[in-house]
Amino acid sequence: MTSQANQRNDFGNDGRRPESTDYLRPSEAAKYTGHSESTLAKLRMQHKRACGPVFIKRGGVVLYRRADLDAWLNGFVIQ
């Protein structure tokens, strides 16, 4: 039997289970954004966080949500 707490952790805010492709490791995020892994690592530093994309860090593992990378890249659109 699954508890409600586990169900909240297993599903996103929209009620669907996140796909593994929704989360990218730094190497995958670098390819996706066209930036180097080094640049993304520098943007994760405390004093540069406001400039970089939102990321998740748990147990030393860094992950980026594809939607967060898209939102960050959209901030560079010039009209």
Three-state SS string over the chain comes to CCCHHHHHHHCCCCCCCCCHHHEECHHHHHHHHCCCHHHHHHHCCHHHCCCCCCCEEECCEEEEEHHHHHHHHHCCCCC
Neighbours of 52 (CB within 10 A): 17
Q: Which residues of the chain have pLDDT under 50?
A: 1-11
According to the model, what pLDDT value does residue 21 have?
Answer: 77
Q: Is the pTM here over 0.75, yes or no? A: no
Single-letter amino acid code for the residue at 42 = K
Query: Token digits for 41?
Result: 């690592």
